[in-house]
């Protein structure tokens, strides 16, 4: 078996915490890990599970859509149908457009006390600046 790229096991650990009947987005998983621009990496890590035996509920991670909705992002029709079927068996309702209401079925991890999640501070907290960002003074 080939070695996984760095950080994939962290992604799997977060996805394993999503309860049955709940969903989240690729971007939310990435943000929880302190990688706000890592949604695509989350997608790659979950796609790599295809055909392998594992305990990661990959079907619970969806692509973000406008108006607090999410949807299956798998382009392969067979894979998308499998994901939808798994979600329906867990009680997640998809509307006629195939989207899920995140207000009703969304999962949001609760950071540990002190504002730290599984991999550091919760996204958007603490006023941290981007690495290398400088303040401009307007005169």
pLDDT digits (tens, 9 = 90+) for 44-85: 999 999 888 999 999 999 999 999 999 999 999 999 999 999
Higher local confidence (pLDDT), 134 or 22: 22
The predicted structure's pLDDT at residue 109: 79
Beta carbons within 8 Å of 81's beta carbon, 6+ residues apart? none
The predicted structure's pLDDT at residue 110: 63
The predicted structure's pLDDT at residue 97: 93
Higher local confidence (pLDDT), 66 or 115: 66
Q: What are phi and psi of 62, to 5 degrees?
A: -125, 170
Residue 115: which pLDDT band, with cuts at 50, 70 and 90? Answer: very low
Average pLDDT on 96-112 reads 87
Average pLDDT on 82-93 reads 97
The predicted structure's pLDDT at residue 51: 83
Place of tokens 């999503």: 18
Q: How many CB atoms lie within 10 A of CB 56?
A: 18
Average pLDDT on 25-38 reads 95
**Sheet strands side by side (includes 24-25):** 24-25, 61-65, 69-71, 99-101
């Amino acid at each position: 078996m080939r070695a996984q790229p760095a950080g994939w096991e962290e992604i799997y650990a977060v996805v394993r915490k999503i309860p049955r009947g709940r969903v989240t987005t690729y971007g939310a998983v990435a943000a929880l890990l302190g990688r706000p621009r890592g949604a695509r990496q989350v997608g790659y890590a979950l796609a790599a599970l295809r055909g392998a035996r594992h305990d990661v509920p990959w079907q619970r991670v969806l692509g973000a859509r406008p108006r607090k909705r999410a949807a299956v992002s798998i382009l392969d029709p067979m894979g998308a149908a499998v994901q939808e079927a798994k979600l329906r068996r867990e009680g997640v309702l998809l509307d006629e457009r195939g989207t899920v209401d995140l207000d009703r079925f969304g999962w949001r991890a609760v950071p540990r006390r002190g504002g730290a999640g599984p991999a550091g501070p919760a996204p958007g907290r603490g006023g941290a600046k981007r690495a290398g960002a400088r303040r401009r003074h307007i005169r």
